């Protein structure tokens, strides 16, 4: 593919330069009305006192050790579940798209992933409690069937890793669904061409496959990260009283029965908003680098 | 094409185990309503109120409309960003991530403030207006997933060459988008549709605060403060949502054959 | 005149006065009902059907007055209700709550923010003074005490005191119904555990309660899962601290599978009061007032009692012998309620502040990664 473009007649070119803006206009109108404007009240609220005066106090309070630790914990849980979810999701998508399995496997996996990606909150927490909790199905089976007591060996569902394992239930399917279309685009001809030039499978993947897939993979994992970062219902039901993640703190301030400082809640959300912005920038930088391989 | 590699089978097998065990545990618990024996009493009790069908159909209809609107908004955007406006990519992607980090309750209160009966567009004042507001809210909720999916698929297409080739043959921009690009995005559109469908069926906050009778509030009403019925409902909702996605899959695949260009 | 003549005159006069008063009241009520019917609907928020028998009361209200009831966010907490009023300030649609039912401490704060409209129901005088705002902005509706819902299939010997919970036989058994940083039920549980040791000062009792839970956590007695009817039945949380009415509703819903005992610990009985209020921005103010009249009528109050909540006019109703005996029999023994401590607003604030701020540091810090 060369850089030369076929020239269009003059009127065509001018008509076309307006078209991109018209094409993205619906998105931006929608975004302003339904995403940006409602967020605005949150952003403004983060800088206000309950009486409505301007203050940086809420943001300042974000620096408290308990809130700082909360952000750290949230980052850790999100990172763990998005990296692991990304890895396992990719493996599953790969198996379905290019693993040579029977034809019904892929559509079944995709539809199942669709449902599983949204199976979160109380039902998911309960499902894992009844599987891997102290009185869970698997726990009891292993104990009575094989004499292996998970909990005596140190496993505990109601911890950081237990929460991460639970989060994977919706992270893995999400990754699978988002990445499968990208895997579709990996044309067989490229693999064949590389082989005919003497490349090994490893070389193919490291020099061609991953660089091409790279941006989509990282973008998908960023989606997983944001997804985990904002997830609250599952965490609240599973480890509510014991793990101190940011959405629960926010919940406490905006929605709870005990504390009620919505402005602090908005500040917490603002912090999440900023962190997602930073990770998006990191993603853009990474992608710009990996796209150099394409040129 | 080689027979399924062992690696693929092992991966699938482990995946199946991980995903099915929690569902089996939930199902087993839902059968325990009657003391001492397994029975479907929890299912009968949960379905007893008779609103299951109407609430589910209501949500499913909203979901389909949401998917259509989302596709109409996302596909042209992804196309132009890829083709001409690549410097806007970061901004657009960040915007699509917003519904994930802004709590749902903040967004829906934002909608109420913007579109209440005293505003420039009083959507909350009527049932139809509230439905419109709810649907557009759902489009926003599904946006991160629909956009990523479509973008991943479109990236794999050689958009520039396809467009130019179509233009040489005299195609206008509409034809390019709907008869050339769209059919090649089948996989992405299906992925995005599945994710959006699940989100709409599973939503509770938006519908509950906008006072619309969808599936989420129904589930909550029937299952609150009970033990066995919520498990039964979770299994039923899972099965039925999966079934609907199967239908979407068949409809999506059964359309006219894509003019694949490899 | 003779004594008996005076008595007769007095009775006749009283009878005359009452018959004059009755029609006047009936007229007011009729006018209110007509105005409410004209509005046609009422919007309530955060009212689960299984909470205090609200389900049956909603049905009765709808049948009696023919109004449509919009039920927003049955899952919501007190904070949600306040935020919903604020968000719907300009909205007259069915998404704007007309009335709220919130924890005691939210009443004064909502009044201070100008979110409430005052109204004194016809039975105002029989509501205890400590449980209502003098100007009529908010008024107590019902109360319950903290209890333990015990799965007696799993826990053979139910505890009788907060102090019993430390016993090694309750390993992996004690759970709260929510996060103490966000849920009133959970916070009060910590406070109650502290009061049980004899500490009277609110903030100090809260701290002692936190230490108690930290001990329970280290010993493995505390299960850090949000307890619910489902986890109670499933076995992961065989004992859950709930308001007595919620515990009894859970017991009834489980229908003996498993068998559930509801125990009010004898060493510290904490009562929790909820309050009703009308939103200052209510789109249907007359329907709201009618709802309040219904809730505070004898029938409405008994409705709450059927849901195992003690209505705020309980003493008044008991004195007038209006409480059905079979209903009284279903409730836990009255001695427990006699000992109940009703924390004042200041005490609640102090306790909540300590628990919410220090739960992570004292209890949560020991959770392994």
Domain ranges of chain C: 30-143+272-330, 145-271+341-366
Helix (H, G, I), strand (E, B) or coil at B1: coil
User: Is residue C203 within 8 Å of C351, Cβ to Cβ?
Assistant: yes
Nearest to A226 by CA among A44, A120, A81: A81
pLDDT category at C22 given cuts 50, 70, 90 is very low
Higher pLDDT, B24 or C105: B24
pLDDT category at B89 given cuts 50, 70, 90 is confident
Fold of C145-271+341-366: D-Maltodextrin-Binding Protein; domain 2 (3.40.190)
Q: Do C180 and A262 touch (CB under 8 A)?
A: no
Sorted by where each starts, the structural domains of chain A and their CATH numbers stand as 1-46 (no CATH), 56-294 (1.10.3720.10)
> In the predicted model, is pLDDT for residue C98 greater than 60?
yes
Q: Do A135 and C80 touch (CB under 8 A)?
A: no
**Closest chain C residue to the Cα of A133, Cα to Cα:** C236
The ipTM of this complex is: 0.85
How far is it, in rounded angstroms, from Cα C300 to Cα C54? 10
Percentage of chain C surpassing pLDDT 90? 55
- pLDDT (0 to 100) of residue A281: 84
Nearest to B256 by CA among B190, B174, B183, B203: B183
Query: Which subunits have 3 or more CB–CB pairs within 8 Å of chain C?
Result: A, B
Q: Is A65 on the interface with B (CB under 8 A)?
A: no
How far is it, in rounded angstroms, from Cα A96 to Cα A109? 8
> At residue A54, what are phi and psi to the nearest 5 degrees?
-70, 140
Q: Do A273 and B92 touch (CB under 8 A)?
A: no
How far is it, in rounded angstroms, from Cα C118 to Cα C288? 11
How far is it, in rounded angstroms, from Cα B97 to Cα A224? 10
What's the maximum distance between 2 C-alpha atoms anywhere in chain B?
A: 74
pLDDT category at A7 given cuts 50, 70, 90 is very low
**Which 8-state DSSP code applies to residue B258?**
P
> What are C100's two structure tokens?
């709220």
Q: Is A105 on the interface with B (CB under 8 A)?
A: yes
- pLDDT (0 to 100) of residue A16: 54
- pLDDT (0 to 100) of residue C69: 95
**Closest chain A residue to the Cα of C180, Cα to Cα:** A241
How far is it, in rounded angstroms, from Cα B114 to Cα B28? 46
- Tokens 């909502």 correspond to C110
Peptide bond preceding C258 in cis form (omega within 30 of 0): yes
> In the predicted model, is pLDDT for residue C23 greater than 50?
no
Chain A: give the shortest CA distance to residue C226, in Å: 5
How far is it, in rounded angstroms, from Cα C9 to Cα B88? 92
Q: Do A240 and C106 touch (CB under 8 A)?
A: no
Q: Do B224 and C246 touch (CB under 8 A)?
A: no
Per the prediction, chain B carries an average pLDDT of 86
Question: β-pairing, C271-279 with C116-117?
Answer: antiparallel
> In the predicted model, is pLDDT for residue C2 greater than 80?
no
Q: Do C87 and B227 touch (CB under 8 A)?
A: no
Name the helix (H) or strand (E) containing C174: strand C174-176
How far is it, in rounded angstroms, from Cα B58 to Cα A149? 46
How far is it, in rounded angstroms, from Cα C186 to Cα B148? 40
User: Is residue A82 within 8 Å of A171, Cβ to Cβ?
Assistant: yes
Higher pLDDT, A141 or C23: A141
Nearest to B70 by CA among B175, B231, B185: B185
CATH number of C30-143+272-330: 3.40.190.10
Helix (H, G, I), strand (E, B) or coil at C321: coil
- A contact test, residue of B63, B79, B94, B101 with most A CBs within 10 A: B101
> What are A43's two structure tokens?
């952003």
Q: Is A149 on the interface with B (CB under 8 A)?
A: no
Mean of pLDDT values over A72-78: 90
Q: Got the DSSP string for A68-99?
A: HHHHHHHHHHHHHHHHHHHHHHHHHHHHHHHS
How far is it, in rounded angstroms, from Cα C135 to Cα C235? 48
How far is it, in rounded angstroms, from Cα A43 to Cα A47? 7
Which residue from B18, B22, B191 is facing A178, i.e. has the nearest CB? B191
> In the predicted model, is pLDDT for residue A254 greater than 80?
no
Chain B: give the shortest CA distance to residue A195, in Å: 15
- pLDDT (0 to 100) of residue C368: 32
**Phi-psi sector, B50: left (phi>0), alpha (psi -120 to 50), beta:** left
How far is it, in rounded angstroms, from Cα C108 to Cα C138? 8
- pLDDT (0 to 100) of residue C150: 95
Mean of pLDDT values over C85-111: 91
How far is it, in rounded angstroms, from Cα C356 to Cα C337? 27
| Strand partners of residue C278 | C99, C117
Percentage of chain A surpassing pLDDT 90? 19
- Tokens 């869970």 correspond to A136
Sorted by where each starts, the structural domains of chain B and their CATH numbers stand as 50-254 (1.10.3720.10)
Q: Which of B247-261, C185-199, C282-296 has the lowest mean pLDDT?
A: B247-261
Chain B: give the shortest CA distance to residue C201, in Å: 34
> What are A196's two structure tokens?
């005919």
- pLDDT (0 to 100) of residue C68: 94
Nearest to B151 by CA among B80, B66, B63, B249: B80
Q: Do B208 and C257 touch (CB under 8 A)?
A: no
User: Is residue C282 within 8 Å of C96, Cβ to Cβ?
Assistant: yes
- pLDDT (0 to 100) of residue B217: 87
How far is it, in rounded angstroms, from Cα A285 to Cα B85? 17
Q: What is the pLDDT of residues B25-77, one digit of tens each?
A: 999 999 988 888 888 888 888 887 778 888 999 999 999 999 999 999 999 99
Instruction: Give C351: exposed, middle or buried? Use CB within 10 Å, 0-12, 13-18, 19+.
Output: buried
Q: Do A180 and B187 touch (CB under 8 A)?
A: yes
Which residue from A110, A219, A222 is facing B191, i.e. has the nearest CB? A110
User: Is residue A233 within 8 Å of A121, Cβ to Cβ?
Assistant: yes
Q: Do C236 and A66 touch (CB under 8 A)?
A: no
- Tokens 């109409």 correspond to B72
Locate all alpha helices (DSSP H) within chain A, ordered by sequence: 10-31, 37-46, 57-61, 65-98, 105-116, 122-132, 137-146, 160-184, 188-196, 201-204, 210-230, 233-239, 246-254, 262-291
Of A16-20, A73-77, B43-47, highest mean pLDDT: A73-77
Q: Could you give the dihedral angle defined by the CA atoms of residues C63, C69, C72 and C73, in that order, rounded to the nearest 10 degrees?
A: 10
- pLDDT (0 to 100) of residue A50: 76
Percentage of chain B surpassing pLDDT 90? 31
User: Is residue B182 within 8 Å of B241, Cβ to Cβ?
Assistant: no
- pLDDT (0 to 100) of residue C357: 82
Per the prediction, chain A carries an average pLDDT of 82
Q: Do A257 and C184 touch (CB under 8 A)?
A: yes
Name the helix (H) or strand (E) containing C139: strand C139-151
> In the predicted model, is pLDDT for residue C19 greater than 80?
no
pLDDT category at A85 given cuts 50, 70, 90 is very high
How far is it, in rounded angstroms, from Cα A127 to Cα A120? 10
Q: Which residues of C touch B107 (CB under 8 A)?
A: none
Question: Does the fold of domain C145-271+341-366 match that of domain C30-143+272-330?
Answer: yes
Chain A: give the shortest CA distance to residue C341, in Å: 19
Q: How far is CA C220 from the centre of its chain?
A: 31
Q: What is the pLDDT of residues B113-147, one digit of tens each?
A: 888 888 888 888 888 999 999 999 999 999 988 99
Q: Which of A135-149, A248-262, B132-146, C54-68 has the lowest mean pLDDT?
A: A248-262
> What are C52's two structure tokens?
């205090």
| CA angle, C247 then C249 then C250, to 5° | 65
Chain B: give the shortest CA distance to residue A128, in Å: 6
Locate all alpha helices (DSSP H) within B31-126, ordered by sequence: 41-47, 52-83, 89-101, 104-114
Helix (H, G, I), strand (E, B) or coil at C333: coil
Give exposure, B114-133, as e/b (b: 16+ Cβ within 10 Å).
Answer: bbbbeeeebbbbeeebbbeb
Q: What is the pLDDT of residues B183-220, one digit of tens each?
A: 888 888 988 999 899 999 989 889 988 889 999 888 88
Q: Do A115 and B238 touch (CB under 8 A)?
A: yes
Taking each helix axis as running N to C, give the angle between helix B186-202 and helix B215-223, from 0 to 180 degrees, rounded to the nearest 10: 40
How far is it, in rounded angstroms, from Cα B16 to Cα B5? 17
Q: Do C93 and B117 touch (CB under 8 A)?
A: yes
pLDDT category at C52 given cuts 50, 70, 90 is very high
**A residues 127..146 contacting B (CB < 8 A):** 127-128, 130-131, 136-138
Chain B: give the shortest CA distance to residue A177, in Å: 6
pLDDT category at C44 given cuts 50, 70, 90 is very high
Q: What is the pLDDT of residues C188-233, one digit of tens each?
A: 999 999 999 988 888 999 999 999 999 998 888 998 888 889 899 9
User: Is residue C39 within 8 Å of C284, Cβ to Cβ?
Assistant: yes
- pLDDT (0 to 100) of residue A188: 73
């Amino acid at each position: 593919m060369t850089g030369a473009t076929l020239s269009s007649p003059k009127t065509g070119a001018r008509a076309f330069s307006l078209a991109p803006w018209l094409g993205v206009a619906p998105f931006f109108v929608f975004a302003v009305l339904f995403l940006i404007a409602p967020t605005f009240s949150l952003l403004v609220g983060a800088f206000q006192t309950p009486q409505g005066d301007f203050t940086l106090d809420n943001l300042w309070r974000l620096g408290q050790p308990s809130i700082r630790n909360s952000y750290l914990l949230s980052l850790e849980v999100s990172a763990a579940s998005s990296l692991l979810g990304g890895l396992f999701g990719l493996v599953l998508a790969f198996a379905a798209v290019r693993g040579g399995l029977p034809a019904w496997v892929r559509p079944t996996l995709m539809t199942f992933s669709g449902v599983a990606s949204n199976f979160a909150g109380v039902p998911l927490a309960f499902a894992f409690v009844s599987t891997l909790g102290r009185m869970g199905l698997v726990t009891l089976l292993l104990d009575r069937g094989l004499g292996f007591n998970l909990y005596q060996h140190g496993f505990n569902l109601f911890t950081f890793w237990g929460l991460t394992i639970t989060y994977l239930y919706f992270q893995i399917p999400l990754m699978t669904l988002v990445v499968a279309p990208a895997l579709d685009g990996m044309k067989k001809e490229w693999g064949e061409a590389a082989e005919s030039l003497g490349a090994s499978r490893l070389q193919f993947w490291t020099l061609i496959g991953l660089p091409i897939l790279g941006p989509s993979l990282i973008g998908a994992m960023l989606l997983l990260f944001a997804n985990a970062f904002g997830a609250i219902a599952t965490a609240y039901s599973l480890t509510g009283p014991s793990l101190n993640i940011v959405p629960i703190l926010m919940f406490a301030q905006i929605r709870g029965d005990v504390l009620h400082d919505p402005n602090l809640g908005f500040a917490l959300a603002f912090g999440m908003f900023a962190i997602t912005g930073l990770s998006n920038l990191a993603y853009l930088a990474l992608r710009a680098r990996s796209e150099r391989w394409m040129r | 094409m080689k027979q399924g590699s062992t690696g693929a089978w092992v991966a699938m097998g482990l995946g199946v185990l991980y995903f099915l065990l929690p569902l089996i545990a939930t199902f087993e618990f839902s059968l325990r309503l009657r003391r001492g024996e397994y029975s479907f009493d929890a299912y009968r009790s949960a379905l007893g109120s008779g609103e299951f069908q109407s609430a589910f159909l209501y949500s499913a209809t909203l979901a389909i409309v949401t998917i259509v609107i989302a596709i109409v908004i996302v596909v042209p955007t992804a196309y132009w960003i890829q083709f001409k406006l690549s410097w806007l990519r970061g901004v657009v992607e960040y915007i699509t991530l917003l519904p994930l980090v802004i709590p749902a309750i903040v967004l829906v209160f934002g909608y109420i403030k913007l579109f209440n009966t005293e505003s420039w567009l009083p959507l909350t004042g009527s049932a139809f207006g509230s439905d419109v507001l709810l649907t557009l809210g759902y489009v926003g909720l599904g946006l991160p997933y629909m956009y990523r999916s479509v973008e991943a698929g479109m990236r794999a297409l050689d958009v520039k060459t396809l467009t130019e080739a179509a233009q040489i043959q005299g195609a206008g921009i509409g034809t390019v988008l709907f008869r050339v690009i769209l059919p090649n995005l089948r996989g992405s559109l299906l992925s995005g549709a599945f994710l959006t469908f699940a989100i709409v069926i599973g939503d509770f906050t938006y519908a509950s605060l906008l006072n619309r009778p969808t599936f989420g509030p129904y589930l909550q009403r029937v299952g609150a403060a009970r033990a066995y019925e919520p498990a039964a409902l979770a299994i039923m909702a899972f099965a039925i949502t999966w079934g609907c996605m199967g239908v979407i899959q068949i409809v999506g695949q059964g359309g006219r054959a894509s003019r694949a260009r490899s | 005149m003779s004594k008996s003549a005076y008595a007769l005159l007095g009775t006749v006069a009283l009878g005359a006065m009452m018959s004059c008063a009755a029609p006047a009241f009936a007229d007011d009520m009729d006018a209110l009902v007509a105005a409410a019917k004209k509005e046609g609907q009422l919007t309530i928020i955060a009212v689960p059907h299984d909470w205090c028998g609200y389900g049956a009361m909603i049905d009765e209200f709808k049948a009696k007055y023919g109004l449509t009831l919009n039920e927003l966010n049955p899952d919501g907490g007190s904070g949600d209700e306040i935020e919903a009023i604020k968000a719907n300030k300009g909205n007259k649609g069915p998404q704007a709550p007309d009335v709220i039912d919130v924890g005691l401490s939210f009443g004064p704060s909502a009044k201070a923010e100008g979110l409430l409209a005052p109204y004194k129901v016809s039975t105002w005088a029989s509501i205890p003074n400590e449980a209502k705002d003098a100007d009529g902005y908010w008024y107590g509706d019902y109360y319950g005490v903290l209890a333990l819902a015990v799965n007696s299939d799993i826990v053979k010997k139910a505890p009788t005191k907060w102090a019993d919970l430390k016993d090694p036989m309750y390993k992996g058994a004690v759970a709260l119904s929510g996060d103490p940083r966000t849920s009133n039920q959970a916070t009060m549980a910590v406070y109650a555990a502290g009061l049980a040791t004899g500490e009277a000062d609110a903030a100090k009792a809260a701290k002692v309660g936190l230490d108690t839970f930290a001990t329970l956590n280290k010993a493995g007695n505390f299960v850090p899962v949000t307890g619910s009817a489902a986890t109670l039945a499933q076995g992961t949380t065989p004992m859950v601290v709930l308001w007595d009415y919620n515990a009894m509703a859970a017991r009834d819903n489980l229908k003996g599978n498993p068998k559930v005992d509801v125990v009010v610990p004898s060493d510290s009985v904490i009562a929790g009061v909820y309050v009703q209020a009308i939103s200052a921005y209510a789109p249907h103010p007359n329907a709201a007032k009618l709802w309040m009249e219904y809730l505070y009528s004898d029938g409405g109050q008994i409705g709450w009692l059927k849901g195992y909540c003690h209505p705020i006019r309980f003493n008044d109703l008991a004195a007038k012998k209006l409480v059905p005996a079979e209903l009284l029999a279903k409730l836990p023994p009255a001695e427990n309620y006699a000992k109940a401590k009703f924390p004042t607003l200041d005490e609640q604030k102090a306790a909540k502040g300590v628990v919410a701020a220090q739960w992570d540091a004292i209890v949560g810090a020991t959770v392994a990664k």
